[in-house]
Structure 1
């Protein structure tokens, strides 16, 4: 990687990036518009610089690999403009460049407001781009593949009526992580790392100059950030390679985050889990106890609808299933009062996070789960009312600890309260970090849904196991679904920032909905492969127990596949087309492989050189069956076994929209 930094003739900071002598980012400007200085982007003087080289290794609490090398050359430039100071810190890695702004402590700039960040990424060509709209409140759009100069999100935003809240005022804005491929075969990814105390960065696309300009999510009065020096912004990241697999293997974003802030981490346990969630998504049951908030009897008590999924008997059924199939936990959504009037009302005080519905006996469920060795996972839906959750967070976490809940799934469906704030603005970015920090104080693991997309903060808060922050498997339940290529794009986009709770493992791929033609847009074998290709230390067996019962031979892979790893090999990858990944189980010699494709059938043919030389292994291959097709025959699969070693290759045919999952165990 090559980095050049200069001050131009007007005293504007300008940088450029190259890879193996090839231009990646052409000379691009940096700077700010501040409330205290509207021209804090020009007239700078270079007052000093420092360089250093860092080469260390650290071990994550959990992750895709057991150890991570952090090797970079750092350049810090000290800039001064009319008595006000700005530092820019660049770190150059083998696979990319990260840079951030630092406002040092200074007399001339103490408390100030950011009106705009003027960071630019001027691309060297009209690249093939994988993008979703730059929306202030959601990341749950399907991906569009187009040239950079063709980006226009207006039609997609207007058509995406299945998304609860959409605010995308700039039709030429896109979200990060943004994945691109140049005509001459360079792969580029632009994102950010360590988003703390600052709004999320989106990118405005200037079609004429092929320049991406930072577009920060504003607050309710149009300001971008309220800062107090000293302050360091998140890192802006550019990952580059001539091999797509190298993009997925990069640990640069993690390396740009701070080390763990937790005093102890022995209470953090990645796990697989199940729960009543898919019942509600497919209409078999409901989150709410009653049909309407005013459906009450003469005593003022809610009248039960008879369709409430989070009832004691039903939850015990899932606990039995988890215990029988080596699933560590059970998630129960809809257990607490308030669901009758939560959606779309912009109401502040909906949930109290401690009061169960009459048919959910917390004591009985807790005791039963404990007797089966199953952990219960709490659910805290906020309905977007972050103010209400902030007031009750300690109460909610004390309730969890009192009843033995060691993990929580949070949700933020709806418009944000404080009213006028956005999911991806500064206020909410700070809120999500506060939740992770306070949860850690109670030794509670966190899975956040509808948050700002992740930026590697799982290194700093390793109890923050997963996020949603993208279009998950659930969209196959209540909308037109996810295109077969969707899961081949996600590793290059959303997952660059951190693990995703995608909720894989759907086995009944048609006939689960009353809507004609609705189906999951994968094969059954691909649903198994997603446990490997879409990384998360928190993986759900998302389907109903009765749907697994018909395919227990295939379900064996879900029973076996780990969620924590010692090593990961990206065997082949192309965004939008295919991904094949092998991972080594944490603390064991077992390997697991996942391969997925888009709507096109293809043959996987990969070497097994990652296996230990001289050792024989039993490979159990879960693959698409004869005639399998995501659209016409999605549930056809076959299972075969063979003996393999490091000198061999694995060759498997993938159906359209299909996949393969392989467990490889030493003999």
Structure 2
């Protein structure tokens, strides 16, 4: 990393008058200007302009500690340092093969005006697409061990912005998104509509979660989130609906404390990605740039992958996780059928849920020692299945449902991971359904955040990849732990089977701009049967997309770990459509955001890793749309063959979701395609170089 101190006249503008002091820097392209100041009363503030217009008004910074009991809200500036940074790095996997980290940094060291002064450094990094800043507490005589009661970070907005939000909840992110002005946010009212979430721990009527998406009246988009969440609780936001201010609020433990720290210590980065084009938000790599490089040097064993799984049977009533009852899905002969399907269609793995003893003892209970993660049911022959899969070039994917009993899992991780290695299994899906044991911890509190990191580090020791479910939403840590391929941490496709709200057509047009800003989601798309009464005729649930949109999700919902979520038998009538799932990669060299409007539509093109082929996905909400797509990103002078998987003319998510057409045509970089998207529909295109 190259860091160069600039002369003050080039980067830094500083003014001081009595107790007041003001410092300002600009982004490399000068579109952003950050001003940091202390007021006459000693408050430390920052403000941000974009293209000479304010996006964040002067906003205060600070902390409240419960031990030692003090509030850090008035400061004097001790020193100011500045630097610039410009490098290009290569991710282990991702949406692009190279990422540029180009920013200007301002490091402001302040001293609290308290009886016992405390030194604190606020580090700001200003990029061409936004701002990241964090607090740092150096090792010092007056502060060693301390307990955070709350973080006093403020985001003073410039108006009553249009906002895409979910209720603040300490234990789940699985809400549908609400779209309202800031002034009309009511988190408790929104949560009361949600009848399908198993565990709710609501933070209050005016508390919402990040990633938060806003649009100003002037058409500027603001994505507010955090990066590098380590040894700290999740940040949520308390809304002042009158003055349009957001205040950070941290997820507590059972006695109300937020974080237990020891100097030297630092917080996660608070991030603001800002643009007047929604597409630019999806292209931003600001959050990744604020995370550290890989924590281990050998990454050769990390492989993005596609898989199918024994899981949807349990959601549709065909099978069960538990063996008792006679419908156990994870039995040897049934799993062999999935392995056969995976091998035939080029999938890398087969996830098997319900393979291990204990499921009868868990449902409905809040019990600690349920699973040991190494004991299969007697109808599940692990050795026979791993050998069978290996012969066909397929691997089993392990499922570790912890039942929320995290201390039990931590005691058993080494043995469980060694068991995976011994069986030739290299990927695990972890789950944290229900209340966390020990009691009083929350899924998004500091204790669990540390656990998720430990799982990522521990699986890396065994050269295992991990996908976490019911965990805190990602903050770019897949750069530091590239074996952490994906997380759930949002309302995923299993909610299609929810009794009441389920999913809605606009959901996939919002998630890329909200939840996916922090990292990939294990969204499990690829459903080809839309009425979920296949095995229980009285079921009313349905999937609210068209089949073509299910295909497009593989491009628009980025993940290096992609599942074909449906049952093998539901793919058989549609092998021509299944071909797109077989062809679409899970790792990319380049990504182009062709069209985007949150809540309405998303169209993305991606170039396959190490190959000349491109893939396009386009999705819409409940409205039908027509898009034109210019293929100017293709290599000039080259011929390609495009296969278009589109909604049929009579397709509609509600009345005719399975109606689709597969068309083929030659294309070049001079070609412009017209895509007609049905209500709740989409279009998927593979473009293969001749």
Q: TM (normalized to structure 1)?
A: 0.97
Aligned pair partner of 1:646 in 669, 672, 678:
669
The offset of 1:280, in angstroms, is 0.6
The offset of 1:478, in angstroms, is 2.7
Q: Which residue of 1 aligns with 2:64?
A: 33
Aligned pair partner of 1:323 in 340, 343, 346:
343
Q: Do the aligned partners of 2:651 and 2:660 also contact (CA within 8 Å) in 1? A: yes
Q: Which residue of 1 aligns with 2:25?
A: none
Q: Do the aligned partners of 2:172 and 2:200 also contact (CA within 8 Å) in 1? A: yes
Distance 1:357 1:516, change over 3 A: closer
Q: Which residue of 2 aligns with 1:7?
A: 38
Aligned pair partner of 2:509 in 478, 488, 500:
488
Q: Which residue of 2 aligns with 1:461?
A: 481
Q: Which residue of 1 aligns with 2:151?
A: 117
Q: Which residue of 2 aligns with 1:218?
A: 252
The offset of 1:156, in angstroms, is 2.4
CA distance in 2, matches of 1:87, 1:205: 26
Q: Do the aligned partners of 2:473 and 2:518 also contact (CA within 8 Å) in 1? A: yes
CA distance in 2, matches of 1:514, 1:308: 20
The offset of 1:262, in angstroms, is 1.4
Compare 607-616 and 430-439 and name the one that shifted more. 607-616
Q: Which residue of 2 aligns with 1:58?
A: 89
- The reply on whether 1:610 has 2:633 as its aligned counterpart is yes
Deviations 1:144-169 (A, max 9, x none): 11111100011222232211110003
Q: Which sections of structure 1, spanning at least 5 residues, go unmatched? A: 291-304
CA distance in 2, matches of 1:481, 1:113: 40
Compare 131-140 and 4-13 and name the one that shifted more. 4-13
Q: Do the aligned partners of 2:147 and 2:260 also contact (CA within 8 Å) in 1? A: yes
Q: Match of 2:307, SS?
A: strand
CA distance in 2, matches of 1:244, 1:37: 44
Q: Match of 1:66, SS?
A: coil
- The reply on whether 1:377 has 2:411 as its aligned counterpart is no
Q: Match of 1:550, SS?
A: helix
Aligned pair partner of 1:507 in 528, 544, 550:
528
Q: Which residue of 2 aligns with 1:656?
A: 679
Deviations 1:479-537 (A, max 9, x none): 33211000000000000000000000000011445444321010000000000000000
CA distance in 2, matches of 1:169, 1:23: 30
- The reply on whether 1:45 has 2:68 as its aligned counterpart is no
Q: Match of 2:686, SS?
A: strand
The offset of 1:418, in angstroms, is 1.4
CA distance in 2, matches of 1:109, 1:509: 59
Q: Match of 1:24, SS?
A: strand
Report matched runs for 1:174-573 at 5 Å. 174-290=208-324, 305-479=325-499, 480-510=501-531, 511-512=533-534, 514-573=537-596
- The reply on whether 1:588 has 2:611 as its aligned counterpart is yes
Q: Match of 1:35, SS?
A: strand
Q: How many residue pairs are counted as aligned between the two chains?
A: 653
Compare 262-271 and 474-483 and name the one that shifted more. 474-483
Q: Match of 1:254, SS?
A: helix
The offset of 1:77, in angstroms, is 0.4
Q: Match of 1:257, SS?
A: coil
Q: Match of 1:238, SS?
A: strand
- The reply on whether 1:68 has 2:131 as its aligned counterpart is no
Q: CA RMSD in A?
A: 0.9
Q: Which sections of structure 2, spanning at least 5 residues, go unmatched? A: 1-31
Deviations 1:392-439 (A, max 9, x none): 011110110010110000000000011010000000000000000000
Q: TM (normalized to structure 2)?
A: 0.94
Q: Do the aligned partners of 2:79 and 2:108 also contact (CA within 8 Å) in 1? A: yes
CA distance in 1, matches of 2:72, 2:326: 62
Q: Do the aligned partners of 1:385 and 1:416 also contact (CA within 8 Å) in 2? A: yes
